[in-house]
Structure formats: C-alpha cells, structure tokens
Amino acid sequence: MAESSQTDGRTLSERVFARLQDDIVLGVLKPGTKLGETELAARYGVSRGPLREAIRRLESRKLLERVPHVGTRVAQLKGEDLIEIYRVREALEGMAARLAAEHMTAEEVTGLHRLLSQHEQQQDLQEDTAYFQREGDLDFHYRIIHGSHNQTLIDLLIGELYHLVRMYRYQFSTVANRPQRALAEHRRIVEAIESGDGEMAELLMRRHISRARENIESQGRVGGAGGGPKGAEALSAAPDNHRETQ
C-alpha cells in the first residue's frame, strides 16, 4: 500500500513546504543559493508536483525568487536594503509596542509571558548561540504587532516582507551573546506593556531593533551563497527535529 500523503494531518506539499521554509530560515539553504527541482526532490524525498506547490508558496512569501536565465534561488536582500527595512521596523514596531501597552488585554499579556517562557527552554538560546522563533503566534514581534490592535500597522509589518525579514532576524541572531540579550530585551518590553507604560514600551522596542540593526551593520554584509552570518554554516548539519528570530 502506498504511503498516505496525510499521515500527520498535513498534505505532502505542506510537509515539504514546512521543511524547505525551515531550511531557508535556518540558513541551511543560504541567501542567493540556486535551487534545482531534481536536487530538491531527492533531498526531501518527494515528487515534483508537491515540490512545485511548495516552491510557489515560498515565492509568494518572498523567500524564493525566479531569476531570468538563472532559475529559482533563495531570496537575497542587498545590505543597504535590509538596513532600510530595519530603520522602518524600528519606527513602526516602536509605535506598535506603544499601542500594545494601551490596548493589549490581560490575557494577551499573559500569553506573551508564556511565549517567552517557551522560548527560554530552547537549547540554542540556553547555550546563547541562536534565537529562533517560529512564525505567527510563536513569534514575539508578531504578537506585539497584533497586540497594537491597529490594522494599518499590522498590514504594513505582517505583509510580504515578514518572512524574508524573519529569515535575516534569525541568521543575524547567531552572533556571540546576542540571543540571551535579545530575550532579556523582550522581557523588559513585556514588563512595560503590562504596566501600561506606552512611552517606555516604544523606547525599549526601538532600542531592541536598533541593536539588531547595529549587529547587522557590524558584520558588514548580508549573508549570501558564499558567506553569511557567523554560525550559519554549522546549521547545515542540523537534524530535522531542531526547530523552535529577534
């Protein structure tokens, strides 16, 4: 009997999409890397049909791009473009934190505390080597943005660049001593939101993103096919169950 494509409740396409997305975000497949369907099908043990559907979804998330005469490759931002995005994030996520302090419910704030407690259990974070947050409600920044209860901000910050920025957030979090500091900064932001101090929440969020931007600038480059942030190469050997970005 052929193996069911939905043995874990997801279709084969959804499973390969999740694995391919994780490999891109974790830096196993580095920005700028050209991807061939034959090699990917063999790597993930799937036929080309489910693989092509996964690739289409990743293109819509701006994690993959089609380049004329080149083919499909992992998306790559120029260093100056990424810095510009971080400057915009600093302003808009600072505003989101201020609004979150004004509008988040007690239940939502409790959820933030629980989320950071879950993050704290990650082995990589405990070892201070990386800080990887899954997308959506498992992402601290995503929760804060939605906690603003401002749909315009949500549309701006959780739009087409969210997944691409999330990839760089993780890959540049692997610098020495940054993961634990980022978690501590997250906790101080939550404390300000919980106390209803919008001014302090905004200041702390802006400082948090500014430090992440300075970290990128200090490394002097955006990771590409031939390089990347320190530590990214080591992820190529990471097991598939290694899962759980400032």
Q: Where are the alpha helices (DSSP H) in the chain?
A: 12-25, 37-44, 48-60, 79-103, 106-120, 123-126, 140-147, 151-157, 162-171, 178-194, 198-219
213 vs 31, 79, 142, CA distance in Å?
18, 11, 18
Q: What is the pLDDT of residue 220?
A: 64
Stretch 45-49: mean pLDDT, rounded? 92
Please determine, for residue 237, whether its predicted confidence score (pLDDT) is greater than 80: no
Query: pLDDT by residue (tens digit) across 57-116?
Result: 999 988 999 988 889 999 988 888 889 999 999 999 999 999 999 999 999 999 999 999
Q: What is the pLDDT of residue 6?
A: 47
Q: What is the pLDDT of residue 1?
A: 36
Please determine, for residue 225, whether its predicted confidence score (pLDDT) is greater than 60: no
Q: What is the pLDDT of residue 246?
A: 53
Q: What is the pLDDT of residue 241?
A: 36
Instruction: For strands 34-35 and 64-67, give the pairing.
Output: unpaired
Please determine, for residue 245, whether its predicted confidence score (pLDDT) is greater than 50: no
Please determine, for residue 227, whether its predicted confidence score (pLDDT) is greater than 50: no
CB neighbours (10 Å) of residue 46?
21
Q: What is the pLDDT of residue 144?
A: 97
Q: What is the pLDDT of residue 43?
A: 93
CB 91 within 8 A of CB 156: no
Residue found by looking up tokens 């704030």 in the block: 109
Angle at the Cα of 119 from the Cα atoms of 11 and 174, rounded to 5 degrees: 90
Three-state secondary-structure class, residue 76? coil
* Backbone angles phi and psi of 88, in degrees to 5: -70, -40
Please determine, for residue 228, whether its predicted confidence score (pLDDT) is greater than 60: no
CA distance 58 to 152: 24
Please determine, for residue 155, whether its predicted confidence score (pLDDT) is greater than 80: yes
User: Can you name the residues that pair with 71 across neighbouring β-strands?
Assistant: 67
Q: Is 185 left (phi over 0), alpha (psi -120 to 50) or beta?
A: alpha
